[in-house]
Amino acid sequence: MVITMSTPQIERAPFGRTGHLSSRVIFGAAGIGTMKRQEKADELLPLLLEFGVNHIDTASSYGESELRLAPWLKTHRKDFFLATKTGDRTGIDARASLERSLERMGVDSVDLVQLHNLVESDEWETAHGPDGAVAALAKARDEGLVRFIGVTGHGTRIPGMHLRSLERFDFDTVLFPYNFTMRQSAAYRADVEALLAVCEERNVAVQTIKSVARRRWDADSTEPHFSWYQALPPGDALAHGVDYVLGRPQLFLNTSSDTRLLRPILEAAARHGAVPSDEVMQADVDAHQMSAIFDGGALERI
What pLDDT does 296 receive?
72
User: What sign results for the dihedral spanned by CA atoms 53, 55, 59, 65?
Assistant: positive
Q: Establish if 3 belongs to a structural domain.
A: no
> Which structural domain range is residue 255 located in?
12-289
- 12 three-class SS: strand
How far apart, in Å, do the first and last CA atoms of the chain sit?
54
Percentage of the chain exceeding pLDDT 90: 87
Q: Is residue 297 one of the residues assigned to a domain?
A: no
Average pLDDT over residues 132-147: 98
Say what the pLDDT of residue 302 is: 52
Domain-located, residue 4: no
Residue 1 has pLDDT above 50, yes or no: no
* Choice among 174-178, 225-229, 283-287 with the minimum mean pLDDT: 225-229
The pTM of this model reads 0.94
Structural domain contains residue 299? no
Which among 152, 215, 221 has a CA at the least distance from the CA of 182? 215
Q: What angle do CA 125, 157, 189 make, to 5 degrees?
A: 140
What mean pLDDT, rounded, does the chain reach?
A: 94
pLDDT at position 300, please?
Answer: 61
* 210-219 average pLDDT score: 90
Residue 43 lies in a domain: yes
Residue 72's pLDDT band (cuts 50, 70, 90):
very high
Instruction: Let me know if residue 212 belongs to a domain.
Output: yes
In a domain, 282, yes or no: yes
Instruction: Say which CATH number the domain at 185 has.
Output: 3.20.20.100
Average pLDDT over residues 84-103: 98
Average pLDDT over residues 269-289: 95
Confidence of residue 93 (pLDDT cuts 50, 70, 90): very high
Q: Which residues pair with 229 in a beta bridge?
A: 216
Q: Is residue 181 part of a domain?
A: yes
pLDDT tens column, 28-61? 999 999 999 999 999 999 999 999 999 999 999 9
In the predicted structure, residue 2 carries a pLDDT above the cut 50: no
The residue-averaged pLDDT of 104-121 equals 97
State residue 152 phi and psi, 5-degree precision.
-125, 170
pLDDT digits (tens, 9 = 90+) for 271-280: 988 899 999 9
For the chain, the domain total comes to 1
pLDDT of residue 295: 75
* Helix-helix angle 65-76:91-105, to 10 degrees: 60
Nearest residue to 149 via CA among 160, 159, 157, 139: 139
Choice between 228 and 279, residue whose per-residue pLDDT is larger: 279
Contact of 62 with 29, CB cutoff 8 Å: yes
For residue 5, name the pLDDT band (cuts at 50, 70, 90).
low
